[in-house]
Structure 1
Amino acid sequence: MRIVIIGAGMSGLACAQALEQMGHEVTLFDKGRGPGGRMSTRRVALDETHISFDHGAQFFTAREHAFRAQVEQWRKDGVVAPWPAAKEDAWVGTPGMNAPIAHMAKAHNTRFASHAMGLVREGAEWRVLLNDGSRHGPYDAAILALPAEQAAAFLGTYDLTMAACAITARSRPCWTAMIAFAERLPFESDVLDPSGPVGWAARNSAKPCRPVAEAWVVQASPEWSIQHLEDDAASVAGHLAGWLAQQGDGAPLPAPIHLSAHRWRYAVAPHSTKGALWNADLRLGACGDWLLGPRIELAWLSGTRLAALIGG
Structure 2
Amino acid sequence: MTRERDMAGSAAIVGAGMAGLSCATRLAEAGWRVALFDKGRGPGGRMASKVVTAQGLCFAFDYGAQYLTARDPAFVAQVRDWERQGVAARWPAAGEDGWVGMPGMNTLVAHIAEPLGVAWSTHIRAIRRDHDGWWLSHDERTEGPFDILVLAIPADQVPALAAEHDPALVELTEAHPSEPCWTVLLGFETRLSAPDILSAADPIDWAARNSAKPGREGGEAWTIHATPDWSRRHVESDRTSVTASLLRALEEQVGTLPVPVHATAHRWRYARSGKAGIGAYHRPDIALAACGDWLIAPRVESAWLSGRQAADTLIG
Name the TM-score, length of structure 1 as normaliser.
0.96
Kept in 2: contact 1:26–1:109 (CA 8 A): no
Kept in 2: contact 1:124–1:282 (CA 8 A): no
Kept in 1: contact 2:133–2:146 (CA 8 A): yes
- Aligned position for 2:83: 75
- Aligned position for 2:25: 17
Q: Secondary structure at the match of 2:12?
A: strand
Q: Supply the distance in 1 between the matched residues of 2:170 and 2:97 (Cα, whole angstroms).
A: 35
1:294 equivalent to 2:298? Answer yes
- Aligned position for 2:269: 265
Q: Following TM superposition, by how much is the alpha carbon of 1:47 offset from its aligned partner in structure 2, in angstroms?
A: 4.9
Q: Supply the distance in 2 between the matched residues of 1:308 and 1:94 (Cα, whole angstroms).
A: 29
Kept in 1: contact 2:57–2:218 (CA 8 A): no
1:135 equivalent to 2:139? Answer no
1:237 equivalent to 2:258? Answer no
- Aligned position for 1:43: 51
Deviations 1:131-165 (A, max 9, x none): x2411122111110000010122111111111211
1:186 equivalent to 2:193? Answer yes
Match of 1:220 among 211, 219, 226: 226
Counterparts of residues 139-218 of structure 1 (less than 5 Å): 139-187=146-194, 189-218=195-224
- Aligned position for 1:115: 123
Q: Supply the distance in 2 between the matched residues of 1:253 and 1:62 (Cα, whole angstroms).
A: 35
Deviations 1:93-133 (A, max 9, x none): 01001111000000202111111111121323111111x24
Q: Which moved more, 1:119-128 or 1:209-218?
A: 119-128
Q: Supply the distance in 2 between the matched residues of 1:125 and 1:264 (Cα, whole angstroms).
A: 34
Q: Which moved more, 1:160-169 or 1:95-104?
A: 160-169
Q: Following TM superposition, by how much is the alpha carbon of 1:194 offset from its aligned partner in structure 2, in angstroms?
A: 1.3
Match of 1:277 among 281, 288, 292: 281
Deviations 1:61-120 (A, max 9, x none): 000011011101110111110111122211010100111100000020211111111112
Kept in 2: contact 1:41–1:56 (CA 8 A): yes
- Aligned position for 1:31: 39
Q: Secondary structure at the match of 2:94?
A: coil
Task: Please identify runs of 4+ aligned residues in structure 1 that moved more than 4 A.
Answer: none
Q: Secondary structure at the match of 1:113?
A: coil
Q: Supply the distance in 2 between the matched residues of 1:280 and 1:194 (Cα, whole angstroms).
A: 43
Name the TM-score, length of structure 2 as normaliser.
0.95
Q: Supply the distance in 2 between the matched residues of 1:245 and 1:216 (Cα, whole angstroms).
A: 12
Q: Secondary structure at the match of 2:115?
A: coil
Counterparts of residues 81-96 of structure 1 (less than 5 Å): 81-96=89-104
Q: Secondary structure at the match of 1:246?
A: helix
Q: Secondary structure at the match of 1:110?
A: coil
Structure 2 unaligned regions, length at least 5 = 1-8
Match of 1:100 among 90, 103, 108: 108
Structure 1 unaligned regions, length at least 5 = none
Amino acid at match of 2:301: E
Q: Secondary structure at the match of 1:103?
A: helix
Amino acid at match of 2:69: T
- Give the CA RMSD over aligned residues: 1.2
Deviations 1:148-200 (A, max 9, x none): 0101221111111112111221111111000000111111x100111120100
Q: Supply the distance in 2 between the matched residues of 1:273 and 1:231 (Cα, whole angstroms).
A: 32
Q: Supply the distance in 2 between the matched residues of 1:4 and 1:148 (Cα, whole angstroms).
A: 18
